[in-house]
Structure 1
Amino acid sequence: MAYTTRDEASSSSSCSPSIQTSSWTNHVFLSFRGEDTRHGFTDHLFASLERRGIKTFKDDYDLKKGEKISNELNKAIEESMFAIIILSPNYASSTW
């Protein structure tokens, strides 16, 4: 995995070519606890990534306690190059 410095990242206005030409369906999968961050931090992060051309998956359905992950959600995880885990007070108590 290649890392960039803050200066390199700020001088680039778009995604790196390696991300743009990826065969993945999503560049990023956001993993978060909806009740904690869905309508705040997660929405802002999602919008910011999308504005920069980073195709991001954000589950818009609120899984209820004990509910299984849908096949669609499993597929989105498998088809994402990276995952960003958004830790919050109730994240660890998630049933999945």
Structure 2
Amino acid sequence: MGNIICSHSLSPLSHSTARCHYLVPTSAYDVFINHRGKDTKQFLASSLYDNLQNRGFRVFLDKSSLRVGQYVPEAITCAIRRAAVHIVILSPNYAESEWCLDELYLLIQTGAPIVPVFWKVRPSEDRMEDENGVYAKDFRKHKKAGKFSTETLEKWRNALRWVSLVEGFISEG
């Protein structure tokens, strides 16, 4: 497992793990929920978090799990590395977020089980088989903006393709 998430220096997630044991105890979380906040935080991600918490699982969801004073990128990186299972909620605006894509790449690197939830997107959307699909459009925007290297875009593309081949749940609402 490599430590560098993104070859571009503006990657939102820290590549340092030296302080993880101070921030997040080993096996601190049973579940880490990766999601696009503007699409799913108010409804799906929050409901999933509450339901899992009520069943006794230790769940990481950024808005509920981060503490005042924590350096967000480092805390998220540590939580990902210390979670037993990852749930990825793939939604229409997921691929426009470098945070989501960096997290997905790191989730895959950890080797922990990943459960995808395809919310208002099809697995074929993640594979970017449709040139007019929302994820393909987002990648064209990322490329045009010139903010990320070709290597980073390819890592993200491969991560989306990989997760699209994992058996998961499809939800329209």
- TM-score of Structure 1 vs Structure 2, range by shorter chain: 0.5 to 0.7
Amino acid at match of 2:33: L
Alignment partner of 2:89 out of 80, 86, 90: 86
Post-superposition CA distance 1:55-91 (Å, at most 9, x none): 1000118xxxxxxx61011001011011000011011
Name the SS of the counterpart of 2:92 in structure 1.
coil
Identify which of structures 1 and 2 has the higher relative contact order when contacts are C-alpha pairs closer than 8 Å and 6+ apart: 1
Shift of 1:94: 1.2
Question: Normalising by structure 2, what TM-score?
Answer: 0.37
Q: Which residue does 1:57 correspond to in 2?
A: 60
Quote the Cα distance in structure 1 between the aligned partners of 2:90 and 2:57. 21
Quote the Cα distance in structure 1 between the aligned partners of 2:43 and 2:53. 16
| Structure of larger gyration radius | 2
Q: Which residue does 2:41 correspond to in 1?
A: 38
Shift of 1:40: 0.6
| Structure 2 gap segments, 5+ residues each | 1-25, 65-71, 100-173
- CA RMSD between the two structures: 1.6
1:27 and 2:38 equivalent? Answer: no
Quote the Cα distance in structure 1 between the aligned partners of 2:48 and 2:33. 9
Q: Which residue does 1:48 correspond to in 2?
A: 51
Quote the Cα distance in structure 2 between the aligned partners of 1:83 and 1:92. 17
Alignment of 1:5-20 (within 5 A): none
Give me the identity figure in percent. Answer: 36
Quote the Cα distance in structure 2 between the aligned partners of 1:58 and 1:92. 19
Question: Normalising by structure 1, what TM-score?
Answer: 0.65
